Amino acid sequence: MDAALLLNVEGIKKTILHGGTGEPPNFITGSRVTFHFRTMKCDEERTVIDDSKQVGRPMHIIIGNMFKLEVWEILLTSMRVSEVAEFWCDNIHTGVYPILSRSLRQMAEGKDPTEWHVHTCGLANMFAYHTLGYEDLDELQKEPQPLIFVIELLQLLGQVEAPSEYQRETWSLSHAEKMQAVPILHGEGNRLFKLGRYEEASTKYQEAIVCLKNLQTKEKPWEAQWLKLEKMINTLILNYCQCLLKREEYYEVLEHTSDILRHHPGIVKAYYVRARAHAEVWNEAEAKADLEKVLELEPAMRKAVRRELRLLESRLEEKRAEERRRCRDMLG
Same fold for the pair 5-117+127-159 and 175-308: no
Look at residue 127 in the predicted model and tell me its pLDDT. 37
CATH class of 175-308: mainly alpha
Look at residue 95 in the predicted model and tell me its pLDDT. 83
Average pLDDT, the chain: 83
For residues 218 and 250, give the distance between their C-alpha atoms in angstroms, rounded to a whole number.
32
More confident position, 53 or 26: 53
- Report domain extents, the chain: 5-117+127-159, 175-308
What number is the average pLDDT over the span 218-244? 93
Q: By the 8 A CB rule, do 101 and 49 touch?
A: yes
> Considering only 2-6, 19-23, 183-187, 202-206, which range has the smallest mean pLDDT?
2-6
* pLDDT single digits (tens) 286-323: 999 999 999 999 999 999 999 999 998 888 888 778 87
What number is the average pLDDT over the span 94-116? 73
Look at residue 279 in the predicted model and tell me its pLDDT. 92
More confident position, 168 or 236: 236
Look at residue 47 in the predicted model and tell me its pLDDT. 95
Global model pTM greater than 0.75: no
**pLDDT exceeds cutoff 80 at 123:** no
Look at residue 327 in the predicted model and tell me its pLDDT. 83
Helix (H) or strand (E) holding 241: helix 224-246
For residues 258 and 35, give the distance between their C-alpha atoms in angstroms, rounded to a whole number.
42
More confident position, 7 or 149: 149
**Phi, psi torsion values for 31, nearest 5 degrees:** -70, 145
**pLDDT exceeds cutoff 50 at 152:** yes
What number is the average pLDDT over the span 182-191? 90
% of the chain with per-residue pLDDT over 90: 44
Q: By the 8 A CB rule, do 17 and 150 touch?
A: yes
What CATH code would you report for 5-117+127-159? 3.10.50.40
Look at residue 36 in the predicted model and tell me its pLDDT. 94
* pLDDT single digits (tens) 50-91: 999 998 888 888 777 656 678 888 899 889 989 999 999 998
Look at residue 214 in the predicted model and tell me its pLDDT. 82
Look at residue 332 in the predicted model and tell me its pLDDT. 65
The string over 176-190, giving b where at least 16 C-beta atoms fall within 10 Å of a residue's C-beta and e elsewhere, is: eebeebbeebbebbe
**Phi, psi torsion values for 113, nearest 5 degrees:** -65, -15
More confident position, 172 or 330: 330
Number of helical (H) and strand (E) elements in the chain, helices listed first: 13, 8
**pLDDT exceeds cutoff 50 at 118:** no
What 3-state DSSP class applies to 16?
A: strand
Nearest to 86 by CA among 149, 136, 170, 25: 149
Taking the alpha carbons at both ends of the chain, their separation in whole angstroms is 90
Look at residue 24 in the predicted model and tell me its pLDDT. 80
